[in-house]
Structure 1
Amino acid sequence: MRPFLLLASRDHDVVADDEYRAFCEYGGLAAEELWRVRAEAGPLPAIDLANFSGVILGGSPFTASDPVEEKSSEQLRVEAEIGKLLDRIVEEDFPFFGACYGVGLLGQHEGAVVDRRFGEPVGPVRVKLTPVGIVDPLCAGLQPSFDAFVGHKEAVRTLPSNAALLAGSASCPVQMFRFKRNLYATQFHPELDLPGLERRIDAYRHSGYFPPDEADAVKQRARAAHVYEPQRILRNFVERYAR
């Protein structure tokens, strides 16, 4: 099998390694079947899409919709390089899955309105599939509504007309969408389990997602949830596109 490619941009090693662990575990992939590139560490290497089964774009502390003048030179480089790769991915309708940060980058690339109107605090939310989502192959085996972990400052407010809305929540209308046949993104984190979320809460407690002194309360809310459905989306993506 050709490996999948994970584009990561987390500069916190513990979180970055746990994200990689989760995508492998819930995608059913061995380490050699998921090639990771940490985009924040330096320029992207030459990437030949023909060598991969699909591309996964993980989450990030970056916020895609921030004004250009507020972005660091590192973020501008990362987004420019991933943008060029997205040009090819979209043109070829190459299998792509973006989680959280991927919503912003893929959404902006295709003309969506991405801003801070529908940001959600860290923790579980109830996600509901649309009629289109219920029959989409990446949602096979999912319940019509399920709990998922979120934590984001921005979200897609308006999808372009050529996108299919697959899922939403009461606090964020766009939780999952598809472009063309093979380009997907979720606002929630399908790779996140409770231990992974708690690691991110510790790592990003001073990053503006919640008041730092509320970190323990955020963890307690997460522990009360039962999040096990979203990971099926990753396994469905891998099984659908492995080649």
Structure 2
Amino acid sequence: MSMPEPGSGENIELLPQRAPAWMRGLVDAVAAGHTNAAVPEINRRKPRVPDSRIKGAAVLMLFSGAETTAELPADAEVLLTHRNPRLRSHSGQIAFPGGRIDAEDKNVVDTALREAWEETGLDRHHVSPLATLPELHIMTSGFPIWPVLGHWHIRGDVRVASPDELDEVLAVPVQELINPENRLMVGKEFWRGPAFRINGYLVWGFTGGLLSAIIESAGWEEPWDKNTTHSLAEAVENSRNNEATRLW
């Protein structure tokens, strides 16, 4: 039996005024819908068969970094996870912390914080929830997801708290994500989308598209090659992801 989360249901109201100066442009872009518009169209497809029983999921886009500068700080990082390759769904992929909405969750912020605690041990009271993006959808299934943007104002220890779900927790420097050498377009059949090479992993799909949209909307993007499309299968094969490619 899993232990209850300390402070479950607390710290679930959005507090955009707590955004550090370097994140305020991003929070404004989210509020104006610009970030959602930057996500590849295929990731916003509605479910093929509407089902009222589908509650969806929420993910936490958690950034950390100095609060005393208006420019993107050198220590800015985003929290990501590597999903256990033995999972049946999205195995071996890099993802934001998150998961399905439970009936007990007060709202999507509550879901995102609870799931982040279950997966990484993140203390929800160290997070400032700043904004939520409108509903997005997984490209293959149309499964609805609500991304929650937050700032990690008190850096604490995180770890693999749920080894059945994860095998690594990563605090990825934003400067590495925006480095043009780490960015590429990948494609398979009718689909193409932005991706990142980080620590030997390939970040693609929903997470890659959302990260790309965040970077673009925040004004952090540097020119990179968007015209050359690399084989998704080859890019995954040459990565540390260890994905079950038969599932996609």
User: Taking structure 1 as the reference length, what is the TM-score of the superposition?
Assistant: 0.32
More helix by proportion, 1 or 2? 1
